[in-house]
Amino acid sequence: MSAPSVFDTREVLEKYILKCIQKKHPTATISDIRTIWDNAEKKKSLIIDALTQLYEEHKAKGDRFRSIAYGRALTQIKKMTSPIVSGKQAKKIKGIGKGIADKIDEILRTGKLAILEKEADMDADRVAVVNKFMSIWSVGSVLANVWYDKGYRHIRDIPSNVLSDAQRIYIKYYDELQEKIPREEIEYMFGRVKDVLKNVVTVSSIELVGSYRRGLLESRDIDVLITDTHSSLTSGPGNTIVKALEENGIITDTLSSGPQRFLGIVRSPRTGKHHRFDIFLVPREDRGTALAHFTGPADFVIDMKNRAMKKGYRFTEKGMFDENDMKISLPREQDVFKILDMEYVEPENRK
């Protein structure tokens, strides 16, 4: 029986562990394994809680490098179906290095993390408030901390005159925009978008990307990729796309817009709720790279970009470029994987 992955089902892992233990302890039962497992799961929860606290603190401080590192580690640990029994075991998982592995060993050994007790310079209230402010459109850690130091503790405390137009719009719908959007609602809104556009503009393809394409049951926004020869959303035939959606009451507000990207807010005629909505417009020869880039998730795309760099390419949302900065035509997503010598991964399996 080959060793299972730490991402296999609990049932598979329990059977494997039992078989291994019974070689030395023949009387061991599945009940014994489940008791051991449950105790280990409690320690895994401690690890997740501690790393989450470190992630939140470093994010609030503006320490992007450490917050990303803790965020990636948390993503992987939460995906694991097996308990964590040592830092050495955890270090084998992509995204977990020696520093985090050592912290895992400390938690498993003592049930706590000393660094969290020492780093008391940022109290829980500041961390919570700063991270709340950072959930507002285009607010980073520096500005969020400035607001905290000015005495603001709630979004309603922030004076309107210090906000940008986009931030005022975002705050107007803040509570609705924090809600995740069910797949059914995304499909409904996408249908509305297609119904409007088919009467005003001809495009090669229009498709949903982002977490929806990866099969998630809920998403934070609706991401639409439009492929055509139109070069701009702000001029020429492409400009009709945004205007038509505004005139039909689908797009209610603009947060940011440019030739190839529109970021805004839509209102669902069915529920009356507002959702974040993004449009990405690319020429047909760049559809493959755009699909790969905008499908995500972030860690998967970063890995693809790193692989491209090692091969002398530059992989961006605007296309794949060779060492002479010449764009390579990649109309199919499979073409992107092929040029990077990667086996094609279905969207729902991208981690």
Domains and their CATH numbers in the chain = 10-118 (1.10.150.110), 124-169 (1.10.150.20), 181-282 (3.30.460.10), 287-349 (3.30.210.10)
Question: Checking DSSP bridges between strand 221-227 and strand 274-282, what pairing results, if any?
Answer: parallel
What pLDDT, in 10s, does the model give residues 54-68?
888 888 888 888 888
For residues 285 and 329, the answer to whether their CB atoms sit within 8 Å is yes
Q: What is the pTM of this model?
A: 0.74
Q: Pick the closest to residue 345 from 329, 332, 334, 330 (CA basis).
A: 334
DSSP 8-state symbol, 2: P
- Residues of the chain with pLDDT > 70, as a percent, come to 90
- Number of residues assigned to the chain: 351
Buried b (16+ CB within 10 A) or exposed e, 30-53: eeebeebbeeeeebbebbbebbeb
Per-residue confidence at 324, pLDDT binned at 50, 70, 90?
very high
H or E element, residue 176: helix 174-178
- Residues sharing a CB contact under 8 Å with residue 327, sequence separation 6 or more, in sequence order: 285, 286, 319, 320, 321
Is residue 265 within 8 A of residue 250, CB to CB? The reply is no
- Confidence class for position 291, pLDDT limits 50, 70, 90: very high
pLDDT at 297: 92
Average confidence (pLDDT) over 251-272: 94
Q: For residue 286, is pLDDT > 70? A: yes
Give the pLDDT score at 327: 94
Helix (H, G, I), strand (E, B) or coil at 44: helix
